[in-house]
Amino acid sequence: MVKDMNSGEKSIFDQLDLLEFSEAELALDGLLSEPESSPVPGSKEEIASLERIKSRTLDLIQTEPAPELPAAVRKPRRRAAIGAAAAAILMAAGLLAFSPDVQAGLKQALSFLPGFGTVLESSPGSQLYVLEKPYTASIGKGKLTVNAVLLQENSGTITLRGQQTPVITEFQADIGGDRYTFTSNMRSSASGDWYASYSAALPGNLELETAEPVTLYINAAAVGPLVLQAPVTADDLQHLGASDVHQDVRITAFPVRLDDGLVRVELVPALPDSFSAVHSYSLEPLVSWNGLYVENAEGVKAKVEPPSTMVYPSEFSFRELASAEEQSYRVVIPYIEIAERKALSREVVLPLPASGESAPLHITAEIAGYPVEFTRIKRSSGTAVSVDVDMNFDPEAAKSLTHFFIRYPGSGDKYSYGWQDTETFPRILKTLLLDAEPGADTLRFRMSEPLFLLKGPWILPLKLED
């Protein structure tokens, strides 16, 4: 027997010794593996004990390895079966031998938050309530949409979208028979439409039933009832929805049927450390002939609704194809545009012509290992300068530079620039609109935070439920 083994650990070992291979694999893959990003708290003895349990389970797996399946027929295991097998082992073996912190760490899972385009790490004891699909109400000649709701311990977040309606700064919500005031912490507007996020403090012991819908009171009008539910959870992202991985980027699709034949799809990325965020899923494609599309099993494309300026870049809708039979769909994402904010910035020094004159340039600089060429500079006044740059873009490359930001010496602000000459595609030529110091004969700036186009495709079969 292993030295320092506690009674709970011994019981788990005894249970593991009785398992078949498939059950042991499920137990290891389920609750006995904590995410690297969220280490299980506890004493050194407890952590060592957990490692010995996992080692014993690995020994069981390795004595009779599972046959390797071809990639085309390999299927993900059902997370419900994994959770049930692991839970049965731990409960039968007396998990209470470990501290509450360790127990909570073992049971952490991901919860998908519809309308927010993100996931949240939570434990089974966490009280989370979400709105599955948007709720729309008519306000005068316009529309108000409750796009997303998240109620959790101590706080609540609600997002609203208005179309041709006055912007709302705060409102009240009836939650569990009590009223709470939600105030705006972020607003944006464009072309008569607006989008806003609101928050409120909530009691830590909030518990809702399906018979207790939430109602919003906005400018004396009741909006609702909003029926909330627990979010969909899983131990890892790929078991929450349809996933695909290319170039170390996993994208997971979460669809939900709306009214009038529309389906809302939210895309959630899992990125390696080198990348920071996905800027575009090619809904408005840089590669204009190869943007995101949705098709059925026969390859017939469904209509993707034009993206609104008031949605997340990871959210879009499509209209289901008319058919007497149930259709299956898949999302195809040929390219994504992604940011690499951790890349080292590079200084560029360009000679300045006299005011009102322009001059050709043949200066090459690079950022994150990708070269760009500055081809012309024009000084329209003492301080206003425009610079043409060839991004050396290659749409056939697995990864190609599309954009970068400018930082001036001594300034922490970044400067977004210019326009893109799409008529020269597949080349990307940009004109930077920059500021020069009065009387200076050189222009200095740093290239930073590059954006890249990554080539896929990511293919995501949608899991649609009525």
- pLDDT, residue 358, reads 92
pLDDT for 383-394, tens place per residue? 889 999 999 998
Average the pLDDT over each of 206-210, 238-242, 269-273, 451-455 and give the range with the smallest value.
206-210
pLDDT for 445-459, tens place per residue? 988 889 999 999 999
Do residues 43 and 119 lie in contact, with contact meaning Cβ atoms separated by under 8 Å? no
Quote the tokens at residue 357. 């004159």
Residues β-bridged to residue 171: 182
**Phi (first) and psi of residue 92, to 5 degrees:** -65, -30
Residue type, 421: D
Do residues 313 and 278 lie in contact, with contact meaning Cβ atoms separated by under 8 Å? yes
Task: Please give the sequence-ordered ranges of beta strands (E in DSSP) within 281-422, or none if there are none.
Answer: 293-296, 301-304, 315-319, 329-339, 346-351, 357-367, 370-379, 384-390, 399-407, 414-415
What number of H helices and E strands is found in the chain? 5, 29
C-alpha–C-alpha distance, residues 296 and 293, integer Å: 10
Which residues, in sequence order, are CB contacts of 117 under 8 Å at separation 6+?
Answer: 266, 267, 268, 312, 314, 315
Distance separating the N- and C-terminal Cα atoms of the chain: 53
What's the average model confidence in pLDDT over 316-323? 88
Task: Tell me: pLDDT of 103 over 60.
Answer: no
Task: Tell me: pLDDT of 350 over 90.
Answer: yes
Task: Tell me: pLDDT of 44 over 90.
Answer: no
Do residues 116 and 150 lie in contact, with contact meaning Cβ atoms separated by under 8 Å? yes
pLDDT for 55-85, tens place per residue? 544 444 333 333 332 232 223 333 333 334 4
- pLDDT, residue 69, reads 28
What's the average model confidence in pLDDT over 291-298? 91
Residue 270, number of CB atoms within 10 A of its CB: 15
Average the pLDDT over each of 73-77, 358-362, 428-432 and give the range with the smallest value.
73-77
- pLDDT, residue 279, reads 85
Task: Tell me: pLDDT of 201 over 80.
Answer: yes
C-alpha–C-alpha distance, residues 442 and 410, integer Å: 16
Residue type, 48: A
C-alpha–C-alpha distance, residues 83 and 94, integer Å: 16
Do residues 232 and 113 lie in contact, with contact meaning Cβ atoms separated by under 8 Å? no
Helix axes 21-29, 79-93, angle to 10 degrees: 90
Which residues, in sequence order, are CB contacts of 93 under 8 Å at separation 6+?
Answer: 8, 11, 12, 14, 15
Taken in order 254, 255, 256, 262, is the CA torsion positive or negative?
positive
- pLDDT, residue 383, reads 84
Task: Please give the sequence-ordered ranges of beta strands (E in DSSP) within 89-241, or none if there are none.
Answer: 109-113, 118-122, 129-131, 135-139, 142-152, 155-163, 170-175, 178-190, 193-201, 214-218, 221-226, 228-229, 233-234
Pick the more confident residue, 276 or 466. 276
The stretches of 351-446 forming alpha helices (DSSP H) are none
C-alpha–C-alpha distance, residues 308 and 59, integer Å: 53
Residues β-bridged to residue 357: 379
Average the pLDDT over each of 175-179, 192-196, 315-319 and give the range with the smallest value.
192-196
With bands split at pLDDT 50, 70 and 90, how would you rate the model's confidence at 249? Answer: very high
Pick the more confident residue, 24 or 441. 441
Task: Tell me: pLDDT of 168 over 70.
Answer: yes
- pLDDT, residue 419, reads 66
C-alpha–C-alpha distance, residues 367 and 389, integer Å: 13
- pLDDT, residue 309, reads 58
pLDDT for 207-234, tens place per residue? 777 667 899 998 878 998 999 988 888 8
For residue 14, with 0-12 CB atoms within 10 Å meaning exposed, 13-18 middle and 19 or more buried, which class applies?
exposed
The share of the chain scoring above pLDDT 90, in percent, equals 27
